[in-house]
């Protein structure tokens, strides 16, 4: 599915599955009527098979039965109308409820396949004396049933992905702490993989911290950065420039030989950036800068820091 946004993925005016011939529509109606008539029994059978297969173990039997009922009704409705919005919305809500409880993708796929089996078996039983009709009924049933299984599974996976993205976001926030070492001195240790979004977030956080702490010097330590491409390197340069606009001098430490080599090779201009080999050296340099300006609230060199 190219379009992942749940609110737009299947619009009410989406093309319907291929139009059924008159008799096929009749068969589908017959099928739906059968499922409605045997709702109680089939639903119970399904819930039993879920428990027996040890699926949804995180849920109580009552909960399983309640969800099974809702899925069953949505299932029949989707079969009848050929539209999947209600089922899709329901599976999204279901996923929201059960993912935090540790329900896994295979369980969700498992239960929809079980329902498919339970219903197919009831059809076998009902039409066992008329194989020809059974086949025609299955012709109507199978494509719709597959699409239903698909809808529920995809809904679940999408919800999981959304949660994972949310967690990644939270980890990002946590993984870029701006630390105040002493008055007017901040340290920003950057660890892990840098991507444009993280780089942007990091800069926004740093700039706010500079303002909040009235920092004059920032040591940006990139020892923990595995690799740096030109995009991230340019971003680093921008961060240094933006910090200067707020009156803070940046010292970059911990550029590995590999990264240094890459940056020079790809032609990133780091000439205006103060760099010191390691974090300790960077902090010493920062202390020196701050001491130089100890007389007054430490104004910085005007504009041209290249003189250093």
Partner 1 sequence: MAGFSSGEQTVIAAAISEIARNILMYAKQGEVFLSLATNGDRQGVVVVAKDQGPGIADLERAMQYGYSTSHGVGAGLPGAKRLMDEFEVDTVVGQGTTITMKKWRRVI
Partner 2 sequence: MEVPILRQGQYLIASIQSALTDADLSHLREALIAQVGRSRCRGVIVDVTALDVMDSFAVRTLRDIAHMARLRGAETVIVGIQPDVAFAMVQLGLTLKGVATVLDLEEGLAFLNRRDEERLLETRPKRFGDRG
Note the residues at the interface with partner 1 (CB under 8 A). Answer: 2-5, 8, 162, 165-166, 169, 197, 200, 204
What is the distance between the alpha carbons of residues 41 and 127, in angstroms, rounded to a whole number? Answer: 17
Q: How many residues bind partner 2 (CB under 8 A)?
A: 27
Query: What, of partner 2, partner 1, none, does residue 295 touch, CB below 5 to 8 Å by kind?
Result: partner 2
Q: What six digits make up the tokens of 76?
A: 């029949």
Residue 306 DSSP code? G
Residue closer to partner 2, measured from CB, 97 or 244:
244
CB of 165 to partner 1, least distance (A): 5
CA distance 148 to 261: 54
Q: Which does 246 bind (CB under 5 to 8 A by kind): partner 2, partner 1, none?
A: partner 2
147 contacts partner 2 (rule: CB under 8 A): no
Question: Which one of partner 1, partner 2, none is in contact with 4 (Cβ closer than 5 to 8 A by kind)?
Answer: partner 1
- Output 82 or 247, the one with its CB closest to partner 2: 247
Q: Rounded distance, CA 175 to CA 152, Å?
A: 34
Q: Based on the shown chain and the rule CB under 8 A, indicate whether residue 295 belongs to the binding site for partner 2.
A: yes
Q: Which of 237, 181, 170 is nearest to 209 (CA)?
A: 181
Q: Is there binding between residue 102 and partner 2 (CB under 8 A)?
A: no
Candidate residues 29, 208, 288, 308; the one interacting with partner 2 per rule CB under 8 A = 208
Q: Which does 165 bind (CB under 5 to 8 A by kind): partner 2, partner 1, none?
A: partner 1
CB nearer to partner 1: give 40 or 168: 168
Among 31, 210, 228, 233, binds partner 2 (CB under 8 A): 210
- Supply 123's token pair: 């059809």
Residues within window 223-282 making contact with partner 2, judged by CB under 8 A: 238, 241-248
Token pair 């996923």: residue: 95
Alpha carbon dihedral 169, 165, 10, 98, in 10-degree steps, equals -120
Collect contacts of 54-61 with beta carbons under 8 A, ≥24 apart. Answer: 55/107, 55/110, 55/111, 55/114, 56/98, 56/103, 56/107, 56/111, 58/98, 58/101, 58/102, 58/103, 59/98, 59/101, 59/103
Nearer to partner 1, 74 or 95 (CB): 95
Residue 174 binds which of partner 2, partner 1, none (CB < 5-8 A, kind-dependent): none
Shortest spacing between CB 185 and partner 2, in angstroms: 14
**Which residue of 91, 203, 249, 253 would you call a contact of partner 2, by CB under 8 A?**
203
Strand positions, DSSP E, the chain: 179-182, 185-192, 217-225, 249-253, 274-276
Options 30-38, 109-117, 162-170, 296-304: segment touching partner 2 (CB under 8 A) = 296-304
Rounded least distance, CB 79 to partner 1, Å = 29
Q: How far is the CB of 179 from partner 2 (least distance, A)?
A: 18
SS3 211: helix
Sequential DSSP letters for 66-95 = HHHHHHHHHHHHHHHH---HHHHHHHHHHH
> What phi-psi label fits residue 214: left (phi over 0), alpha (psi between -120 and 50 degrees) or beta?
left
Residues that bind partner 2 (CB under 8 A): 203-204, 207-208, 210-211, 214, 238, 241-248, 293, 295-300, 302-304, 306
């Amino acid at each position: 599915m190219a379009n992942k946004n749940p609110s737009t993925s299947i619009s009410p005016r989406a093309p319907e599955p291929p139009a059924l011939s008159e008799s096929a529509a009749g068969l589908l109606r017959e099928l739906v009527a059968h499922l409605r008539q045997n709702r109680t029994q089939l639903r119970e059978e399904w819930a039993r098979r879920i428990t027996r297969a040890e699926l949804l173990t995180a849920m109580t039997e009552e909960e399983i039965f309640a969800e099974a009922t809702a899925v069953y009704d949505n299932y029949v409705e989707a079969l009848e109308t050929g539209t999947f919005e209600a089922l899709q919305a329901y599976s999204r809500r279901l996923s929201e409820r059960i993912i935090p409880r540790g329900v896994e993708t295979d369980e969700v796929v498992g239960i929809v396949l079980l329902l498919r089996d339970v219903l197919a078996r009831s059809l076998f039983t009902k039409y066992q004396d008329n194989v020809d009709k059974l086949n025609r009924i299955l012709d109507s049933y199978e494509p719709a049933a597959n699409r239903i299984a698909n809808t529920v599974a995809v809904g679940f996976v999408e919800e999981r992905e959304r949660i994972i993205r949310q967690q990644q976001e939270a980890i990002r926030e946590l993984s870029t702490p701006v630390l105040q070492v002493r008055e007017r001195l901040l340290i920003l240790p950057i660890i892990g993989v840098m991507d444009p979004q993280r780089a942007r977030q990091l800069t926004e956080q740093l700039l706010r911290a500079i303002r909040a702490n009235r920092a004059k010097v920032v040591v940006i330590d990139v020892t923990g950065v595995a690799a740096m491409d030109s995009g991230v390197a340019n971003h680093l340069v921008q961060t240094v420039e933006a910090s200067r606009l707020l009156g803070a001098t940046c010292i970059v430490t911990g550029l590995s030989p590999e990264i240094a080599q890459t940056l020079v090779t790809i032609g990133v201009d780091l000439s205006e950036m103060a760099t010191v080999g390691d974090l300790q050296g960077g902090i010493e340099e920062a202390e020196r800068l701050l001491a130089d300006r100890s007389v007054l609230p430490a104004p910085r060199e005007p504009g041209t820091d290249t003189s250093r």
